[in-house]
A and B are shown apart, each in its own frame.
Chain A
Amino acid sequence: MAVYAAPVQELIDELGRLPGVGPKSAQRIAFHLLKLSREDALRLAKAVVEAKDRVAWCTRCFNVAEGELCGICTDDRRDATVVCVVEEPRDLVAVEKTQEFRGRYHVLGGAMSPIEGIGPEHLRVKELLARIDAEEITEVILCTNPNIEGETTAMYLARLLKPLGLRVTRIASGLPVGGDLEYADELTLGRALEGRRELEG
């Protein structure tokens, strides 16, 4: 026996398919939407439709884009010879927020995971290699996550890119600003020591 009217059940089912939303949360969100005024609910519906219609993947770097190319790729003030390789568009946003990087990006669409059987063929590796000559790239910054999948991906890419004669760098690992040394794990602290730099006196 159906507890809810069919349209309500459908809404709950659809919401329940979103990441991190369980059946109970789906139910709560559904009832919240039902309680909203018509305009408020439609604004959400419209935002979803707009996003789906207008947003695509940038054909150059695979970031989210409103046209063929994303805002970063169309910006001529950016340095086209340096490319920062990230796993997901979310990571690109994180790097962008630092305001330290003025080059372009390349979004891989994930990281290699041998144990899950995710290899280079599942990522946009070929697309990256194709860009090197076409865009006269001189430096590639490997900005994948500092976990085992990200490290594997970075080492694999370094092996592919090095012979092409360009500068291949890996982002440093270190201590979070505002943190305490005694709480740092050995691996991070070890890397922070290894990557130490001279202070200008």
Chain B
Amino acid sequence: MLYRDHGIVLRTHKLGEADRIVTFVTEHRGKVRAVAKGVRKTKSRFGARLEAPSHVALQLYEGRELDIVTQAESVDHFRDVRTDLDRLARAVTMLEAADQLSLEREPNPRLYRMLLGALRSLAARDSPLVPAAFFWRVLALEGFEPVVDACVTCGTTEDLVAFDLSEGGVLCRADRRGQALSPGALDLMRRILAGRVAGVLEEPASPATVELEHLAVRALEHHIERRLRSVGLLDRG
């Protein structure tokens, strides 16, 4: 059966001589894995459209395990993201997270929209906080919204200095566990979770933004119970 959907390319695998298996997160069907035939040939009509992190309008033929891409039309290929190594690395980290968080053929339109929004923000400006904001928002979507207003142990709203991953929230000085959290990072985190992301992304890089970036990656890794492979890859070598 043929169906249409919009999707974002998360990753691709080579298949056989000239084909690829493309993993999408789609608007209506959750994660979809589909075979794109002949896309590695230079004469392929939709090869370039099916590269991460493209946003595409698709027509697919439903298969038992893998679907088949019959048509792909580009909606946005995020050129500014692709041509900038740092932004591309940030985008790939978000794609990897989305791949881990989405389930095959389990609709999750909000995850799709959040990822699309995050990629658009990244295309508009290079802010290191785009993945962090995406991670916190996605965790909240998954039902793991961190508690940031009061200490998760005693409930006090004063002197919050630590964040514990397994508790999923902040802690006061007396109950502190997990890792230290600066007031600056806490403020950024509250603003992200309250939905005031645009303002946060304008923030210049500072120790607080770096702290939040690392904490977001660790919180997400804690949730998916595995490491994100694409984090920090460019710094190795």
Chain A residues with a Cβ under 8 A of chain B: 20, 112, 114-117, 119-121, 125-126, 146-148, 151-152, 155-156, 159, 176, 179, 183, 185-188, 190
Which residues of chain A come closer than 8 Å to B233, judged between CB atoms? 112, 114, 117, 119
The listed residue (A156, A176, A186) touching B43 by CB distance below 8 A is A176
- List, in ascending order, chain B residues with CB within 8 A of A156's CB: 85, 234
**B229 in contact with A186 (CB, 8 Å):** no
B17 x A114 contact (CB < 8 A): no
Report which of A20, A159, A188 forms a contact with B48, defined as CB distance below 8 A. Answer: A188
CB-nearest residue of chain A relative to B42? A176
Q: Which of B59-67, B90-98, B101-109, B131-139 contacts A (4 or more CB under 8 A)?
A: B90-98
A168: min CB distance to chain B, Å = 13
Q: Would you call A115 and B85 a contact (CB within 8 A)? A: no
Contact indicator A116/B229 (Cβ below 8 Å):
yes
Whole-angstrom distance from the CB of B181 to the nearest CB of chain A? 28
Give the complex CA separation of A176 and B99 in angstroms: 33
Contact B236 A120 (CB under 8 A): yes
Cβ contacts under 8 Å, B48 to chain A: 146, 185-188
Residue interface bits B66-105, CB-to-A below 8 A is 1, else 0 = 0000000010010100111100110011011001000000
Task: Please give, as numbers and ranges, the residues of chain B lying within 8 Å of A187 by CB-CB distance.
Answer: 48-49, 74, 77, 79
Which of these, B45, B92, B229, contacts A183 with CB under 8 Å? B45
> Nearest-CB distance from A53 to chain B (Å)?
28
Contact, CB under 8 Å: B74 / A115: no
